[in-house]
Amino acid sequence: MGSMPTSFADIPYTRLDLDALSTSYQSILAAFDSDPSATGHLAAIERWNTLRTEISTTQGLAEVHYTQNVADPTNKAEKDFYDKCSPTLAEWNKAVSEKVLASPHRSALDQRFGELFFRQLEQHERTFSPEIKDLLIEESELCNKYNEITASAKIDVNGTTYNLSSIGSLMISLDRDVRRAATHGIYGFLEQNRADIDAIYDRLVKLRTEKAKALGFPSYIEYRYVEFGRLDYNAADVETFRSQVIEHVVPLVQKFRAAQARRIGVDAISLYDEKLQFSDGNPIAHGDHDFIVAQATKMYAELSPETNEFFQLMLEKDLMDLKTRDNKATGGYCTSFPSYGLPFIFANFNQTTHDVEVLTHEAGHAFQAYRSRGYDVPEYRWPTAEACEVHSMGMEFLTWPWMKYFFEEQTDKFRFYHLQGALLFLPYGCAVDHFQHWVYANPNATPAERNAFWKSLEETYMPWRTSADIPYAALGTAWQMQRHIFESPFYYIDYALAQTCALQFWKRSQEDRDLAFADYLRICDIGGSKTFLGIVEAGNLRSPFKPGTLADIVETANSWLTSNFAQFMV
């Protein structure tokens, strides 16, 4: 690893020199032939892994700088550069990968790098060819356009201007007229940009389909499953999981929504009521950004020596950007700069319950990245997406004993809100996934047909939802607010699968917190060196695909809510 910078701002950034990189790749390729021994091939792969680590660090820095201010021309120029050169880098990596897979020293290489490394390389081989380079560049450009549109939002509500992050605070206002006005503002903004958003998504669907077919896949669905490294389950398994959510979760959540309507004094839950859970307001941290970070510092110091070491590093190196501001990209994420073994957390606090949830969620990702920083195989520093989300959602539940630091007398309300929220999410998460399977199975559908299908999914997965007095939402456009659908298709089911595992950590932490945390720590240390189901097994969890797993954990959570918070359930 490189010498440790004193802070995020001091991490050196220099645009990659493509000529120098080309020379490095050619040298690595030549090494496979100049020294054809097992020792020579091992050394060549190690050089390749080091080079990929350096590239990942530089690209990660450019991505963070861009999302911190999408309107900054320098940031945008660097992002555009990597979007354009990434396919070339993929081509060079593919050339090395072919050499690795053709090596006659597979046994020795397996022993050094692990058999999973080669399975992953074989998958990557199937998802790239130089003929799709232009499509990859266009795909990145389209995603950037969507980001720039959403980051530019300036929505006026009662004389105050909000962006799509900060307006979240109005969605939990006790004044229903304010909630309605904020929702009108959001969907008015989407409608104002309707032509551009429809055109961006339509082109994304078609070019992704073209990309998949160029590589011999029947549709983008099969391509994306391979690209995501889903080695131990397939689309049929996911469809079965979604069916279980419809059977076991949707009826329960309908009861939750009916109880919510009674709690907040409305006849039915409209789109603009969904975020407000209590007539006296949702639980909100008793302080601003600085207060939340200070309480998190105490929490992670007490949770374990390992989390204390991690969070102190995040503070000392200024590795968190949590405040919302104009031209900052929406949402939250975690990335890392592997040359230094440093994770980074990006979020948008907006004075809602979500501020604490997003911090603990992204801290779960960052903690795993920190624990896995020692792997020299890039593929092992992060697991596949659904396993990553077990770390983040698991952290949300393992920190429950310290929620009192943030919410004080509202702690019980928070626990109800959070656990119920985990169940409320499952139908929505599955609707997003179902929508994308339909979209890419029908790539020539019109924007209106896509909206109509989303509307039908709301009736299946969220039958309580009403949006009649939000005309643009009533057309079936709520999916346009979900950034993953544009930027990372088929990611969203990962949250639902991971929630099924995270709820198991919640249950086990109620019984033996130390044992639950030990298993959690183990799967953080594993990184991506096992498949998803291998990580689930290592964490002493049940597979979400195993019959009965979802039904059992949902019933356990519902029983806990009913017995501990009967006053909220009537």
* pLDDT confidence tier of residue 1, bands split at 50, 70 and 90: low
Q: What is the pTM of this model?
A: 0.93
Examine the pLDDT at 2 and tell me if it is beyond 80: no
Phi, psi of 337 (to 5 degrees): -120, 85
Residue corresponding to tokens 């029983």: 559
**Residue 335: what are its φ and ψ, rounded to 5°?**
-135, -175
**pLDDT of 294 strictly over 90:** yes
Output the six-digit token pair for 173.
């206002």
For 365-412, how does the pLDDT look when each residue is reduced to its tens digit (9 = 90+)?
999 999 999 999 999 999 999 999 999 999 999 999 999 999 999 999
Phi (first) and psi of residue 334, to 5 degrees: -125, 140
pLDDT value at residue 330: 87
Instruction: Tell whether the model's pLDDT for residue 428 goes beyond 90.
Output: yes
Q: What is the pLDDT of residue 33?
A: 96
- d(CA 403, CA 73) in angstroms, rounded, equals 41
Question: How many CB atoms are located within 10 Å of the residue 447 CB?
Answer: 17
Find, among 550, 526, 548, 547, the residue nearest to 537 by Cα. Answer: 526
DSSP, res 489? T
pLDDT digits (tens, 9 = 90+) for 185-226: 999 999 999 999 999 999 999 999 999 999 999 999 999 999
Per-residue three-class SS string for 497-548: HHHHHHHHHHHHHHHCHHHHHHHHHHHHHHCCCCCHHHHHHHCCCCCCCCCC
Per-residue pLDDT tens digits for 147-180: 999 989 999 999 999 999 889 999 999 999 999 9
| Over residues 492-506, mean pLDDT | 96
Q: Which two tokens stand for residue 96?
A: 């090395």
- Could you give the 3-state DSSP secondary structure of residue 343? strand
Cβ contacts of 150-155, under 8 Å, gap ≥ 24:
150/329, 150/330, 150/483, 151/70, 151/71, 151/327, 151/328, 151/329, 151/330, 152/71, 152/327, 153/189, 154/326, 155/182, 155/185, 155/186, 155/188, 155/189
What digits encode the pLDDT tens for the residues 301-318? 999 999 999 999 999 999
- Which pair of structure tokens corresponds to residue 30? 């030549």
The residue type found at 532 is F
